[in-house]
Amino acid sequence: MPELKVEGAGKEETEQQILYRLRFGGYAVEFPPSEETFATENKFPFHYTEDESDEESDGEAFDPLWEVPDQLVMPKTKKLHAIIEARCRVIRNWNLC
């Protein structure tokens, strides 16, 4: 990746450092600490039903809106694989903006 140098407060940043700073701001770590930081216990924890299912109150299970077709999970041709890979790259680039 090409080096992009930005001068700010007498300090030069690389492109990776700029992207990291823009993404995470002033946080020192990427993820929150693993230990629980709450002083009190949750008085209303979520309780699963006895069968531990995710059923809604009307008795019907949640149906996902869509499923990934089998031909996209494992492309059968190199051409299809290349098309899917190119599309993924485009989508990843959109997410970086």
Q: pLDDT grade, residue 36 (50/70/90)?
A: low
Alpha carbon of 53 to those of 11, 31, 47, 58, 62: distances in Å?
54, 29, 11, 13, 10
Does 87 have pLDDT greater than 60?
yes
Structural domain boundaries in the chain: 1-32, 67-97
Does 6 have pLDDT greater than 70?
no
Query: Helix or strand or coil: residue 5?
Result: coil
Does 88 have pLDDT greater than 80?
yes
Average pLDDT, the chain: 68
Q: pLDDT grade, residue 85 (50/70/90)?
A: confident
6 strand-pairing partners: 13
| Confidence (pTM) | 0.24
